[in-house]
Amino acid sequence: MKKTVKKALSVAAISAMAIGAFAGTSFNGNSAEAGSTYNPKGKAKNVIFMIPDGYSASYATNYRWFKGEESAMDSILVGMHRTYSANSKVTDSAAAGTAMATGVKTNNGMISTSPDGEELKTILETVEEKGKATGLVATSTITHATPAVFASHVPTRADEAGIAPQLIENGVDVILGGGKRYFPDALLTEAKQDGYNVVSDKSALASSVGKSDKLIGLFASDALAPELDRDETNEPSLAEMTQSALDVLKKDKDGFFLMVEGSQIDWAGHDNDAAWAMKDSEAFEKAVEKALAFAKKDKNTLVVIAGDHDTGGMSVGNANVEVLRNITATGDFMASKLDANRSNVKNVVKQYTGLDVTDAEAAKIQSAKDAGIAINQLVSERARVGWATTDHTGVDIPVYAFGPGADLFRGLLENTDFPELMAEAMKLKYGKQK
């Protein structure tokens, strides 16, 4: 597997995106091209909540240029949401996810617990109490902040070993992602005894449907590979995991709740890696297409899509993002291929990006503290993509929705509105306290 390293908008842009999106959208939350006949005010039997971590309006705009046409999400844009946490204008994924899963603002770093340490009921737990099946899918460790908030309660997101058993104890029916290191053999043995089918690679996942109503897929010791590096692994894509999850969950006659996270869009933003960001946005869109295809056929499924926050403060320049299509590796991977003196910078960058590096650019990479980020900065300059930071920012985030209940998500929301609105779409009573 290629080595990867994880490091901990303008109004005009979002306005332009909104105008473009609403131009192709009817006022019932349904794409004018979708051909679905669902009742926009009807009851949602199923909910698919999709979270492209770190994804903002600028990512959406650059991705549209990268793809060369509108994305599958553009025609179902319905609003935006605010992301601040209980103790900061700029949230982290734990606090943002907690708000989106429980309806309560908490402090950065906390997993579905209030600032004073009280456990908070999640939308997933509420759905389970009503007899519906549930699932979590991510390209990070499945114990990472965003998936963790839906089915665990710990004071700090760092306690992934403490999160893992809670996912099983809390009855999540489908668990797909990375993080095998946090699931000891004894825990997986107990899971098998409880009826889980446990798989560990792409081929086993493909043949898993029909073997059990419960599925655990742990495809890497840590996080899965970035989409740019997937060809060197036997790991499934986000779209493949999403389809497998749907194939299992749809068998529950009472319905289901599924959360799907495109985890590594955020990590690309932390690294200012524009190619990684676009390629994982593409992988996320393919998963969205699986969800929308299911919802259009089913007509009783609500699909809600919203990033938890922005990462990196990406900007949109005089579009040249087409150069990103030719890049075949992350900046981290390219940095791992440099020799001790970084004297082969030009050859490495040329091999994986197709770009010719000047002497001045090579010298800058050779002297950089972090060669991977220096390579990413070079690529971003060529693609005319700017970055404000390697951390999160506090801008509002686009919200997309399709299916029965889509109308509920229109306008400017708080991130705490999501679980209550999803419960309302399912005609369920939602309570925030455990």
Q: Which of 408, 410, 413 is nearest to 424 (CA)?
A: 408
Measured between alpha carbons, how far is 145 from 141 in angstroms, rounded to an integer? 9
Residue 334 has φ and ψ, to the nearest 5°, of: -60, -40
Q: How many CB atoms lie within 10 A of CB 381?
A: 14
Q: What angle do CA 246, 250, 265 make, to 5 degrees?
A: 20
207: its two tokens: 């043949």
DSSP letters for 87-152: S-SS--HHHHHHHHHHS----TT-BSB-TTS-BB--HHHHHHHTT-EEEEEEEEETTSHHHHTTT-
Query: Which residue, chain included where needed, has tokens 């844009």?
Result: 77
Whole-angstrom distance, CA of residue 431 vs CA of residue 102: 9
Catalytic residue selected from 56, 58, 71, 93? 93
Q: How many residues in total does the chain contain?
A: 434
How many Å is the Cα radius of gyration of the chain?
A: 21
Burial of 403 (C-beta count, 10 Å sphere; 0-12/13-18/19+):
buried
Q: How many CA atoms lie within 13 A of 217 on its CB side?
A: 33
- How do beta strands 214-218 and 174-178 pair? parallel
Cα separation, 393 vs 388, in Å, equals 9
CB atoms within 10 A of CB 75: 21
* Residue 203 CA: distances (Å) to CA of 106, 141, 247: 40, 19, 15
Euclidean distance between CA atoms 286 and 292, whole angstroms: 10
Known catalytic residue at 200: no
Question: Integer distance in angstroms from the first to the last C-alpha of the chain?
Answer: 41
What is the rounded CA–CA span in Å between residue 207 and residue 248?
12
279-283: list long-range contacts, CB under 8 Å, 24+ apart: 279/226, 279/227, 279/228, 279/324, 279/327, 280/139, 280/226, 280/227, 281/52, 281/55, 281/59, 281/63, 281/66, 282/63, 282/66, 282/67, 282/227, 283/139, 283/227, 283/237, 283/238, 283/239
Which amino acids are annotated catalytic? Answer: 93
